[in-house]
């Protein structure tokens, strides 16, 4: 299917691995010129043909610098994919175990970084009558299903998308949210990631935790979501084929969330 994206421009954050890398690959395959932001650009990211930009978006100055580089490189921004985030820190304890510093770090990465990048990019997006896709999590809908700072930040991110489209939708900018369930990424599979730390805290082998995760989460597909599946949905929502789709939160979770 031709998504009518050839020649469009995009800025993707959190692009070094996992969902972000898959999104960059999907967009470039459609002929989109992409600036891809990552704290540490990887060889896999460079191989996509996107323009990699090394930036730490937990630094408040990083967002403006990134958007300036993207506009200079691309001549404008048609699509913004806010994928920066993560839940793979040491957050395996309960609410009373978590410090203010941990809360602030998680909120900054999973919420405020997107706020800052979006604010910096909106003039270009308004000029292009562009599209924003925010990558959240089903944790926003089932906040007990993950570390409380992470799921709370993702709930804020989902609400942010809903609020943003009411202000800027009438001015031509579409905003959608994609909320994946557990995805086959380093967060779960890395020996130093959140999944490994969670398994250790539970006293079970890491491999057993990952293998049992779909069942534990109630996923009817009995497997983790693949990054490419999320990327396909993001790319469609960014395309002109989704011109009447805006202000929505699109769950891709193998049926884990049971409510409408």
Task: For residue 105, report the phi and psi dihedrals to the nearest 5 degrees.
Answer: -65, -45
State residue 79 phi and psi, 5-degree precision.
-135, 135
The CA-CA-CA angle for residues 107, 110, 116, to 5°, reads 90
Catalytic-residue membership of 150: yes
Annotated catalytic residue, options 150, 168, 188, 236: 150
Gap between the Cα atoms of 77 and 130, Å rounded: 7
C-alpha–C-alpha distance, residues 213 and 194, integer Å:
13
**Count of alpha carbons within 13 angstroms of residue 29, beta-carbon side:** 13
d(CA 189, CA 195): 6
Active site residues: 150
């Amino acid at each position: 299917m031709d998504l009518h994206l050839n020649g469009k421009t995009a800025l993707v954050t959190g692009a070094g691995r996992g969902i972000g890398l898959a999104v960059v690959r999907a967009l470039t395959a459609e002929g989109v010129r992409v600036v891809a932001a990552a704290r540490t650009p990887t060889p896999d990211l460079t191989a996509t043909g996107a323009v990699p930009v090394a930036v730490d978006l937990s630094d408040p100055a990083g967002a403006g610098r990134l958007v300036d580089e993207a506009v200079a490189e691309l001549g404008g921004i048609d699509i913004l994919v806010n994928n920066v985030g993560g839940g793979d820190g040491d957050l395996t304890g309960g609410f009373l175990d978590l410090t203010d510093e941990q809360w602030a770090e998680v909120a900054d990465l999973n919420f405020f970084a997107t706020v800052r990048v979006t604010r910096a990019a909106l003039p270009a997006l308004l000029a292009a009558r562009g599209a924003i896709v925010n990558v959240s999590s089903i944790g926003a809908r089932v906040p007990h299903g993950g570390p409380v700072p992470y799921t709370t930040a993702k709930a804020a991110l989902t609400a942010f998308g809903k609020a943003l489209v009411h202000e800027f939708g009438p001015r031509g900018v579409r905003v959608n949210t994609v909320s994946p369930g557990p995805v086959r990424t380093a967060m779960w599979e890395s020996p130093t990631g959140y999944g490994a730390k969670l398994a250790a805290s539970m006293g079970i082998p890491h491999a057993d935790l990952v293998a049992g995760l779909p069942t534990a989460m109630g996923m009817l597909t009995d497997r983790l979501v693949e990054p490419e599946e999320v990327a396909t949905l993001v790319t469609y929502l960014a395309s002109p084929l989704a011109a009447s789709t805006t202000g929505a939160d699109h769950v891709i979770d193998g049926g884990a969330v049971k409510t409408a």
